[in-house]
Amino acid sequence: MTADLVARRVTDLLAPQVMVIVMPPLVGLLAQGWAGALWGLVASALCGGVPAAVIAVGVRSGRLDSHHIVDRASRTGPLLAAAAAVLVALVLLVAMGAPTLLVAAVTAMLAALAVTLPITMRWKISFHAAVVAGTVVVLAHVLPALPAALAGSAVLTLVCWARVRLAHHTWPQVAAGALVGFGVAWATLTAFGL
């Protein structure tokens, strides 16, 4: 298998929309069992499903270059749709009494979008790196922290390498994404007392 093929597979498997769909039910399951997983499915449908559908429609219509939205100028609309969907999810989860960790994770998603959206308007920050880094922080709260952080760091490094290898980002862009994802998730969970 060539390095480019590995990079493409990593990029697809660990794409932001995939991570945002898989992470909430997993976190809910680990934190509160099957009831938590059901709460996570609500978050997944809105936070991941709605943006993925918007992107799929954009790709099919030719307005977007791919589901990775490589062209920075095309990111604004889908990201605003994602922010709206995450905000709706957050309001629903709070109103329905969802577990604190899940509310905190969705809040971190919204905060990360609030930070990365203005940056990507002027400079192409890596959403892949931001989402994976944020996910590692959240998972380190529900799994043994050191093993989760070590394994997560390895996955994050692989994602960053793949994005650079495919020439979709530079090393500074993936590093900035990782720092934003880590920092926002850490600050949000800390603010929630987790």
Using 50, 70 and 90 to split pLDDT, how confident is the model at 152?
A: very high
List Cβ neighbours of 111 (8 Å cut-off, separation of 6 or more): 184, 187, 188
> Does residue 135 surpass a pLDDT of 90?
yes
CA 87, 89, 91, 93 torsion-angle sign? negative
Question: Which pLDDT does position 74 carry in this prediction?
Answer: 78
Q: Is residue 150 predicted with pLDDT exceeding 90?
A: yes
Is the Cβ–Cβ distance between 43 and 9 less than 8 Å? no
Confidence band of 13 (pLDDT split at 50, 70, 90): very high
Q: What is the pTM assigned to this prediction?
A: 0.89
Tokens of 61: 């219509």
- Residue 163 pLDDT: 97
The pLDDT assigned to 168 comes to: 92
pLDDT score at 137: 96
| pLDDT, greater one: 66 or 192 | 192
Is residue 13 a contact partner of residue 63, using CB atoms and an 8 Å limit?
no
Q: Give the per-residue pLDDT at 162.
A: 97
Distance CA 72, CA 163 (A): 14
The C-alpha angle with vertex 140 and arms to 183 and 90, in degrees rounded to 5, equals 65
Tens-digit pLDDT profile for residues 51-95: 888 888 888 988 887 777 777 777 788 888 888 999 999 999 999
